Structure 1
Amino acid sequence: MAKTYKEMKEAWVSGHTGSSVADVNSVSLAMPLSILLWSVVQSRTRLFTPYTPGACLVDFLLNCGVTLFATTIYSSSPWVLNLLLLLPAVLLCVLEKPVPLKRTPPQLPKKDDNTKEDKLDPLPVKPFITNYRGAMMVITCVAILAVDFRVFPRRFAKVENWGTSVMDMGVGSFVFTAGVVSVRSSLKERTERRPPLSQRLVTAFRHSIPLLVLGTVRLISVKGLDYAEHVTEYGIHWNFFFTLGLLPPFVALFQAAFDLVPSYAVLSCVLAGLYEIALDWTSLGSYILIAPRTNLLSKNREGVFSFIGYLAIFLAGQSLGSIALPRQEPLPKNASVRTLLRRSILGQLVVASIIWTALFYFSTSYYGLRLSVSRRIANLPYFLWVSSFNSYQITICCAIETAFFPQLYKASTGQEERLRSREATSTVLYAFNRNGLAVFLVANLLTGIVNMTMPTLHMNVLQSMAVLTAYTAAVAGVAVGLDRHNISVKV
């Protein structure tokens, strides 16, 4: 019996087993290598200052085009693309010397008159965090549409039950990086009086309302338009916006637990560990995977219970943010390697990456817990994999910033430091990061329009790449346009 096109679409994104962790790492390495090449070009030529249309095109090709090609055309040979990014960066480093900072900086957001421009922020904006979060947003926006085309390999699509893939990592990374920057408010509260729990919960629910509304709108539109959907991803009614919307109030509750266990990393591991015990030692794991969908809870069991794993991932992101966001303390001259690992931000990130990676391999290895990764239930190995992956990727970005913009945090005034920070940040990635959720919403809307108007499964490689390039350019155009007009959409 011939399938309808909707059934073909649902089958196209179902039943996948993913690929290896090494495959995900080799494909994803294109993101920090793009940032590396951008940083080399900027530090050696100051091509992106001032930000001309030509500079914008190069910026887009490096930080959006490379990501698109890494997940499509070069998906079968990722190291070819990685070398094409690495070799020019090395050659430019060898042949050109760094160029001093120009005095035609990019436009900065306006500051209040009461702001003391000469005061250095104890929590400065870190370009390597902005660049990485922007890059994660780019690959997320690319993948949500590319997965509907045959040019996007099936091994990159979300796995059905057990395994690892690029899109599985993308979902977890979205939550992890949100946790990295959310800890900023908690770090500020340490030097000030913390608001009572009731006030923090009220504030958290205010942040949740727009996301829960978006989740409801997406639910109604998907059901109303008879849009193809993957039920085992989150359930029949649940979607990713509901997961994001419920994070703030639960994080506010865990901030109270932080007084008892003053470590986000330990808190996240305890939560993920207890959840894994419930999955393995009770019938919860089998309930999530095979229970009949008879009531509201069973119909949405994946979304409801995987939320515990995503909350642990968010807390792990806060742990890394508490290392990465504060200002670097002065280090003694000729400091030993041990001192650098303990006191420098880059050193602490290296140690954190090693620990998360060791825990991940212990949880999955034959001589460890011998567990399998499952994004569907967001179990302990998935939590540790996401934490490990994002930690070392952020560490690479930090190393790039340290190497090519060494004077970044040596400014004498806050205004000068902000100018240097913008010079060390890709405008495209800055724009994606600045209005991340708004851009993600635009990407979802465009994805729906493309899927409802084009037979994506029947398009050849050239047609697919034309549509995906136009789509990526449109999303980037919205992001950069909002930034150019100094608009921040708070969703």
Structure 2
Amino acid sequence: MEKDYKQLKMQHVSGLTGSSLFDVNSVSLAMPLTILLWSVIQSRMRLFTPYTSAACFVDFLLNCGVTLVATTLYSSSPWLLNLLLLLPAAFLYISSPPMPIRPTAPRPPTKASDARKTSPDPLPMKPFITHYRGSMMVITCIAILAVDFRVFPRRFAKVENWGTSLMDMGVGSFVFTNGVVSVRSSLKTPSGKLPPLSMRLVASMRHATPLLILGIIRLISVKGLDYAEHVTEYGVHWNFFFTLGFLPPFVALFQSAFALVPSYAVLSYVLAAFYELALDKTNLGAFILTAQRTDLISKNREGIFSFFGYLAIFLAGQSLGSFALPRQSPPPKNASKATLIRQSILGRLVISAFLWTALFYLSVSYYGFGLGVSRRLANLPYFLWVCSFNSYQIAICCAIETVLFPNLYKAATREEEKQRCRDATSTVLFSFNRNGLVVFLLANLLTGLVNMTMPTLHMSVFQSMGILLGYIAAVAGVAVALDRLNVSIKL
């Protein structure tokens, strides 16, 4: 009986072809629209300041509950849900004036040594980055368990070979958003000078080691518990933690090439293009898709070779982070309105989204390269799709912040600016972002626990939604509790 059920679960996630780009965009639009509604409520009503139990409940319903129903109950009518989010946000924005900024307690006069604390932070907290990374973590945590229930549509699950789906985008977005914030350390170095390669490799291994250990633990537990797994996803032994773990040292190596190609975006595209040439002009593509699993490399070929695509995605995320994370530089005198828009962070995000999207359609168009998207290969079209999707989603989040919180970065002191940014950030999303990998690990553990103890495929819609709601509430509860205790666990 157990073998029959394991086979049923394997069939549940095998041979899938995904859905259209419009479908993925329509469903995922609920995330920025939820951020819009939260931001309008906060800017007009200050509902989440102070952060009471009632405020936490509303925060959870908006930023976790909406994402859950968007991918389950409203999956067949995403635009109805989008309207249900957009209309109240528009009504509240039009009908209510913005609330005044919460004053900060006056501080005693500072000493000269405290000047750094009062001067503007060159790398301030950016609520729109936190919001997007947090919402991406929420939908990732929901999807990894929801995919095991029938209430989660098959078209959202990862495709077998060619096609696009919500979960295919989720994997790439997880890597992209990690790349966005990883560039912070290099932005802190004076005049952009890189430390020696040996130092970069040692530092990268400190980040890589915990992830590789998690990958080994997951491998042992999956094999030891005879857990149902889809081999064509990453291979027999490889898993996503290995992909994440090998990224830091390889990024450290590629930083040396930055002296030759002083653009993360160009560097990422060159890497993805060369990988695509190897797939198309050699037997590599056929080997990954059809070879027999006879040795260690062939058994894990999907994870090993798709790593090059994920490395390119990570570098592209660093490209976006390199101009989105620093403080907005003051505009030049007598600059035209077009120049001001083009040089603003929002303007650069929009231009970046447009360029990645144009390159993506060139790669898949009949009049372009005519390539197909493959998450299994992590090929050039998949790389460009991930870059395009994340760039325009982050641009939407930035536009929301720019319109609804225009005075975030005009505070007199760092402390006041930090308080303003914290007030403009959802605590639930901040908490998911703050301890992202720990939350992701917890979600994986709970997913395994649910699948080992419950026949998820045989559950009704009501039972499925109850378990999923309890699960994401538990994950969110741990995340918020860690934030309330001011605990940051970095892996």
Shorter-chain TM-score: what band?
Answer: over 0.9
The residue aligned with 2:328 is 328
Does the aligned pair in 2 maintain the 1:341–1:351 contact within 8 Å?
Answer: no
Alignment of 1:190-339 (within 5 A): 190-191=190-191, 193-331=193-331, 336-339=336-339
* Contact residue 272 and residue 379 of structure 1 kept, 8 A: yes
Assess, with a 3 A threshold, how the Cα gap between structure 1 residues 86 and 410 changes in structure 2: closer, same or farther.
Answer: same
- Mapped to 1, the partners of 2:115 and 2:224 lie a distance apart of 49
Whole-Å separation in 1 of the counterparts to 2:400 and 2:94: 16
Instruction: Say if 1:180 and 1:322, in contact at 8 Å, map to a contact too.
Output: yes
- Answer with 298-307 or 408-417: which moved more: 408-417
- Distance of 1:449 and 1:102 partners within structure 2: 44
Supply the distance in 2 between the matched residues of 1:54 and 1:128 (Cα, whole angstroms): 24
Letter matched to residue 234 of structure 1: Y
Q: Would you say the 8 A contact 2:104–2:416 is kept in 1?
A: no
Q: Which letter maps to 2:459?
A: M
- Higher mean C-alpha deviation, range 330-339 or range 205-214: 330-339
CA contact (8 A) 2:356 2:384 kept: yes
Pairs within 5 Å for 1:178-189:
178-189=178-189
2:127 aligned partner: 127
Q: Does 1:53 align with 2:61?
A: no
Per-residue Cα deviation, 1:203-227 (whole angstroms, up to 9, x for no partner): 1011100000000000000000000
- Relative to the length of structure 2, the TM-score reads 0.96
Assess, with a 3 A threshold, how the Cα gap between structure 1 residues 450 and 2 changes in structure 2: closer, same or farther: closer
User: Alpha-carbon deviation of 1:14?
Assistant: 1.0
Residue pair 2:183, 2:322 contacting (<8 A) in 1 also: yes
CA contact (8 A) 1:50 1:104 kept: no
Distance 1:449 1:80 in 2: 34
Provide the rounded CA distance (Å) in 1 between the counterparts of 2:190 and 2:353: 25
Once residues 10 and 115 of structure 1 are traced to their aligned partners in structure 2, the CA distance between those partners, rounded to angstroms, is 60
Letter in 2 for 1:338: A
CA distance in 2, matches of 1:468, 1:64: 11
Q: Which amino acid aligns with 1:398?
A: C
Please tell me whether the aligned partners of residues 142 and 472 of structure 1 are also in contact (alpha carbons under 8 angstroms): yes
- Contact 2:234/2:302 (<8 A) preserved: yes
Structure 1 residue 102: deviation in Å? 2.0
Amino acid corresponding to residue 357 of structure 1 in structure 2: T
- With normalisation by structure 1, the TM-score equals 0.96
Amino acid at match of 1:99: M
Amino acid of the structure 1 residue aligned with 2:479:
A
CA positional deviation for 1:338: 2.5
Match of 2:167 in 1: 167
Which position in structure 2 is the counterpart of 1:457?
457
Q: Please tell me the residue identity of whatever aligns with 1:287.
A: F
Q: 1:119: Cα distance to partner?
A: 2.0
Q: How many residues align?
A: 484
Match of 1:110 in 2: none
The 3-state SS of whatever aligns with 1:420 is: helix
Query: What amino acid is the match of 1:93?
Result: Y
CA displacement at 1:359 relative to structure 2: 0.3
Q: Relative to 1, partners in 2 of residues 1:61 and 1:272: Cα closer, same or farther, differing over 3 Å? A: same
Equivalent position SS for 1:258: helix
1:340-385 CA-to-partner distances (Å, cap 9, x unmatched) read: 3431111111100000000000000111100000000100000000
- AA of the residue aligned to 1:194: L
Determine if contact 2:186/2:192 at 8 Å carries over to the other structure: no
Query: Which residue matches 1:399?
Result: 399
Task: State the shift of 1:195 in Å.
Answer: 1.6
Task: Find the aligned partners of 1:349 and 1:252 in 2 and give their Cα distance.
Answer: 25
| Paired residue type of 1:48 | F
* Match in the other structure for 1:486: 486
Aligned to 1:26: 26
Match of 1:63 in 2: 63
Contact 1:435 1:488 in 2 (8 A): yes
- Structure 2: which 5+ residue stretches go unaligned? 106-112
How far apart, in 2, do the equivalents of 1:186 and 1:163 lie?
A: 36
**Aligned equivalents of 2:333 and 2:119: distance in 1?**
25
On the 8 A contact 1:341/1:350 being kept in 2, the answer is: no
1:455 and 1:56 mapped to 2: Cα distance? 32
Deviation at 1:117, TM superposition (A): 2.5
Alignment of 1:128-143 (within 5 A): 128-143=128-143
CA contact (8 A) 1:49 1:104 kept: no
- For residue 189 of structure 1, report the CA deviation from its aligned partner: 2.0
Residues 137/20 of structure 1: CA separation in 2 closer, same or farther (3 Å cut): same
Counterpart in the other structure of 1:477 = 477
Unpaired stretches in structure 1, ≥5 consecutive residues: 106-112
Could you report, residue by residue, the CA deviation over 1:305-355 in whole angstroms, capped at 9, with x for unpaired residues?
000000000000001111201111223688534303431111111100000
